[in-house]
Amino acid sequence: MEKGLYELFDQEPEKLLPYLFEQLPMGTAVIDRNFRLIRCNPTWAEFIERYTPSTTGDVVPGVSLFDLEPGTEEVIKPLFAPVFARQMVRREGIRLESGGIVSYWDVVLVPLEINGEVVAALGVSLDVTGQMQVTQQLQETLAALQESEANLRRNMAAQKQAQETLAQINVDLEQRVQERTQEIEQRQAVAESLRDILRVLNSSRPLPEILNYIVFQASQLMEAAICTLHHIDYRQAFVHIEASYGLPESLQDITGFPLLSSHADERILNREPVVISNESPPVLAPTVDDNLDPRVRCWRATLVAAYPAYLAVPLVVANQVYGSLAFYFATPRSFSQETIDLAMALGEQAALAIDNARLRMQAEEVAVASERTRLARELHDAVTQTLFSASLIADVLPRIWQRSPEMGQAKLLELRELTRGALAEMRTLLLELRPATLAESRLDELLQQLAVVVIGRSRLQVTVTVEGEEQRPLPPDIQVALYRIAQEALNNVVKHAGARQVVVTLRFLPDCVVLSITDDGRGFDPTVTSVSSLGLGIMRERAARIGAALSVESVIGAGTTIQVEACE
């Protein structure tokens, strides 16, 4: 008979699942969203007949579950609610009472989907009524033993037996408590690690730092010796290692492999987890193929024999397989569904970090482009206005000179200031169109150019002074930030301060550089002025990006001083 079954299932493997369904010792049934029976195995039908003699319906497809088990609706319906919301449900020791008969069940409910919609639930039931009765009997026996302890002292042999029984019960209880405690601690550790990961995700740390943190946390939670995060470059057909933890030193220089170097890549591209345990065939087994990429050969030769268990899950970002999160284990082990689900959750956290970084980068690019466009537009308008004023002066200058050479001389000086300002405006406009020039030029020269622009645009008296013996080149990010702060501050002076004079001072100290902009304008009260007013919010953000300290001192009627101190 056994040989015949092997031949049958080998020739017709599709008959294996129905055979298992019919032969399972656990009750198995499919229930639709209206709680009607679609299909069940004989064990499930036997359970119905055993515990619900008062049933009003036969165990046939289409019959209501509550006709088969009257009086159980209040208990059963809440169990199915999360299932129809795409959640698997596991419950132990569920108490049902139908027709005066009480029974207890361990139940697993799994949603069944068609075209993305949950249409039914698969229920697997295990009758634990006898076990519950035994437990109750044990509890009653324990109570009886405790009550008769005084009598048992008269009988030494009976006393010894009772003590041994109690000791064994305590050992069993302690073991169960210990196992339960370990389970709770494990889940607590998972929850805390996920919270830590979310905290890091919401921070402004660079993406490589975030990914390395996730890889470290994931390896600790999964108790894996090695954890690696891979990114697939579809254009180059290459898999890059973006983050890792625990890799042997001999593999530190390997940055990736050609795509589809193993069957594991195919599963990841199909958005399936890859599981290699002591019970599964070696998907990543070493190969003697001389044509295999040397990096792949070295990787497998080092890891496959030393780490017999392997688990990898796909990373999906923006609905595309970004790569994978892989775990290597130093000892053989099997993976429960709970462990695979944990790995999938960690993979989702890594994918979220990557997606957040991508969105943050896009937002920064948009903000930079917007700011650049705004400044360029303002400069363009200022150049146009300056050239228009210069054109008017040039048109009337001959007539003014004939009437009054002194006035003509003044207008000629004004025309020179306008043309110098227009030239400076054009150079500034070119800087906005080529931002890299900001980092290539000297900061004092850039500040002088800003001063000429303001003089030509507003007739303000702007003085730029540079102090310090060591007028050294600055790091590009610090130089650009200081230039932008000075630019914003001078724009504020022109628009809001009503000043006559502005002094821009750049001081080079041994370990830092200090930029200050002081005007003699109307000033304001910093305690009642919004952080975002007068461009102060923009200046604070730029200073914060380079770790600089920005201070604002202003007195109504006595001008304003803005100072930035940046350490190199």
Provide the sign of the torsion angle of the four alpha carbons 443, 446, 452, 458, taken in this order.
negative
The region that residue 156 occupies, defined by phi over 0 for left and psi between -120 and 50 for alpha, beta otherwise, is alpha
pLDDT greater at residue 195 or residue 64: 64
pLDDT at 201: 54
Which pair of tokens denotes residue 418? Answer: 């306008």
Q: Give the CATH class of 2-132.
A: alpha beta
Summarised one tens digit per residue, pLDDT across range 110-160 is 998 888 888 888 888 888 888 877 777 777 777 777 777 667 667 666 667
CA proximity to 118, closest of 86, 155, 80: 86
Summarised one tens digit per residue, pLDDT across range 401-445 is 777 777 767 766 766 666 766 666 666 655 555 555 666 678 888
Q: What's the mean pLDDT in 543-553? A: 87
DSSP string, 143-203: HHHHHTHHHHTT-HHHHHHHHHHHHHHHHHHHHHHHHHHHHHHHHHHHHHHHHHHHHHHTS
The region that residue 513 occupies, defined by phi over 0 for left and psi between -120 and 50 for alpha, beta otherwise, is beta
Q: What's the mean pLDDT in 501-509? A: 89
Q: Is 324 exposed, middle or buried (0-12, 13-18, 19+ CB in 10 A)?
A: buried
- Total-model pTM: 0.39
Q: Taking a C-beta distance cutoff of 8 angstroms, is the pair 394, 418 a contact?
A: no
pLDDT at 285: 45
Which letter, b or e, does each residue of 112-126 get, where b requires 16 or more Cβ atoms within 10 Å of its Cβ?
eeeeeeeebbbbbbb
- Give the CATH number of domain 447-568: 3.30.565.10
> How far apart are the C-alpha atoms of 451 and 489, rounded to whole Å?
12
8 pLDDT above the threshold of 60: no
267 pLDDT above the threshold of 80: yes
> How far apart are the C-alpha atoms of 228 and 312, rounded to whole Å?
9
Provide the sign of the torsion angle of the four alpha carbons 323, 328, 333, 339, taken in this order.
negative
Q: If you average pLDDT over every residue of the chain, what do you get?
A: 76
pLDDT at 284: 47
172 pLDDT above the threshold of 60: yes
For domain 207-351, the CATH architecture is 2-Layer Sandwich (3.30)
pLDDT at 352: 77
> How far apart are the C-alpha atoms of 226 and 328, rounded to whole Å?
5
Provide the sign of the torsion angle of the four alpha carbons 483, 464, 419, 446, taken in this order.
negative
